[in-house]
Amino acid sequence: MNTTSSSLVAASVSGADLVLWVAVPYVCLAVFVAGHVWRYRQDQFGWTSRTSQLLEHRWLRWGSPLFHLGAFMVIAGHVVGLAVPAAWTEAVGVDEHAYHAGAVWAGSVAGVAMVAGLAMLCARRLLSRRIRLGTDRSDKVLFPLLSLTVL
């Protein structure tokens, strides 16, 4: 990108774009960190993990790694996509089409893994009577919200 086009791009950024794409992510990160610090200092021993892995493990053995690795791959892909400048990919000889094709392919694999893992974990929660009996209200709210977020 030459200096003329980069100055045109910089001139076309609105205040709303700056707030939405620059300020809001930093505010979210700050709230995330501050909330964890506050929670740790206020109720350090109140953090529990009501685990259900001993009640049923066949679905969990595949669903949990698929979901978590898929989620990590999705997050890493977005970070790399935002953090690596176009000049770097051009410098190593990767044109925009190849970069886009690779990103779509890797993102599709990550997305399918994440959705498949989530489906297995939801099926486990719905189909196993022992797990269903241990499900509380927060879990019943969490799974639909997580599914909406992922899909």
Tens of pLDDT, residues 92-144: 888 889 889 999 999 999 999 999 999 998 888 888 888 788 788 888 888 88
Which tokens is 38 given? 């506050």
Q: What pTM does this model have?
A: 0.66
Helix (H), strand (E) at residue 44? none
| CATH number, domain containing residue 129 | 1.20.950.20
Whether 74 and 86 map to the same domain: the answer is: yes
Whether 62 and 80 map to the same domain: the answer is: yes
Determine the structural domain holding residue 103 and report its residue range: 49-151
